[in-house]
Amino acid sequence: MTTARDLFIIAMHSGREQAVGQGDLSLALAGAELIDLLGAGGLTLEDDVLVPGGAPAPADRLLGEAARTVRPAPYERVEDWLWRRGRDLAATYQTALEADGELTPKAAGRLSFGARRVEAVDTPARHGAVDRWEHREPVLTALASALGIGGEPSDEEPGLDDDATTAVVAAVHDAVMELEAVRQRRNIENAAFANLWRGP
């Protein structure tokens, strides 16, 4: 399993009262893909731009798609790639995990991803994701914290061990905060518009 697939499963089982937003999750999944590609040598990070590496294509289909979306020169900034790759990525992962038998439709429940309610199937992949989470693996913990899952990593937990991973995680946090600011601004504008129509 890739970091993105593990993150999707953890987001489903976060125990939050409110489901993780599709946009937030999509940005974090894109960041998880970048971190796996950087770790495999499929990419390098020079300053804040992504430079394609020479590693062979990943075996995972979605990670392979992510690798193919990395632009040649002129190279793309991490933040720009997150927004472009992250568009509807949560729905893409849900469809892929269902097709792979990792998710199954659920008749009822409080967490919903997209229009259909789903739950993780009891598979080795699910156990691997949960084990990684329970051991507070630094990358998974840091990405989940951007979604408000598990809180901020504590000082006692091991940190991220390289600058490129740290930069990607920071970009994910920034993008999620930017998305939330856009939502809040839209809500304020909609409320003002509704008040205008209601009148005094």
- Check whether 136 has a pLDDT greater than 60: yes
Residue with the two structure tokens 């905060």: 177
Question: Which pTM value belongs to this model?
Answer: 0.86
pLDDT at site 17: 45
- Average the pLDDT over 124-134 and give the result: 93
Residue 128 CB contacts under 8 Å (≥ 6 apart), including other chains? 1, 6
Q: What is the mean pLDDT of residues 111-121?
A: 66
Could you tell me the pLDDT band of residue 158, with boundaries at 50, 70 and 90?
A: low
Mean pLDDT is lowest, of 68-72, 101-105, 154-158, 172-176, for 154-158
- CB-based contact 157:133 (threshold 8 Å): no
Expressed in percent and rounded to 5, the helix, strand and coil fractions of the chain are 55, 10, 35
Predicted pLDDT at 123: 93
Name the nearest CA neighbour of 86 among 26, 168, 34: 26
Q: What is the torsion angle, in degrees rounded to the nearest 10, for the CA atoms of residue 142, residue 144, residue 146 and residue 150?
A: -90
Q: Kindly tell me the sign of the dihedral angle through the C-alpha atoms of 106, 112, 113, 115.
A: positive
**CA angle at 86 for the pair 80 and 89, rounded to the nearest 5°:** 165
